[in-house]
Chains A and B, each alone.
Chain A
Amino acid sequence: DIQMTQSPSSLSASVGDRVTLSCRASQSISTYLNWYQQKPGKAPKVLIYAASSLQSGVPSRFSGSGSGTDFTLTISSLQPEDFATYYCQQSYSTPFFTFGPGTKVDIK
C-alpha cells in the first residue's frame, strides 16, 4: 500500500503570507497526486490535479509542484477564505486511492 504523509500537521499564518504545504508518498507515484481543500462541515474541493494542474475556477494563487515522492502546494498570498484543511491524495495505485492526514491552516 502507498502511504501518504503531510507536513506540517498544522500551521498558523497571516493574510498575505506565502504558505507552502508538503506531501510525501511512500514510493514513487510520478505525478499522480491531487490536492483538496476542506472547510468545516463541507465536502472537500479539488484544487490541483496531476500534481500541478489548476482545477477550473480555482484562484491562481494556488499552485502545485513535484513528482516522484515529494510534492508541494503553495498559496502565494493567503486570503481569509483559504483558512481550511488541505489534503493530498495519490491516484497512482488506481483504483486504490489514499489520502494524506491533512494540514490545517489557521489564522495567526
Chain B
Amino acid sequence: QKEVEQDPGPLSVPEGAIVSLNCTYSNSAFQYFMWYRQYSRKGPELLMYTYSSGNKEDGRFTAQVDKSSKYISLFIRDSQPSDSATYLCAMPRNTPLVFGKGTRLSVIA
C-alpha cells in the first residue's frame, strides 16, 4: 500500500461547481498536511497547509483533515476556469514531502 493515495482523475466540472479533492494516507505519524496546485509546465505552489484534524478555510478553498480516518480533503467553492490544474496532496516524512500522484481538474466555462 502506498503511503499516500490520491485519485488521479481527471475531474471535469462546470464553472461555479463545488469541487472535492481527496487523499488517504497510511502513516499515522503524519502530522502536517499540504495541498499544492500545479499548473501545466510549472512547479507546484503551496495552496493550503494544515496541522491536526479539523478545517481550515482560505477564500474559496477549505482544507479538511480527519486523522481518525487518515483522510484529507480540499474543497473549492465557486470553481473558476483558472482553477484548472493538477492538485497534489503532500505530507512531510521528516523534511521530505511524500506526495499523492495528483488529481487533474478541469473547470469548464
Does B associate with A? Answer: no
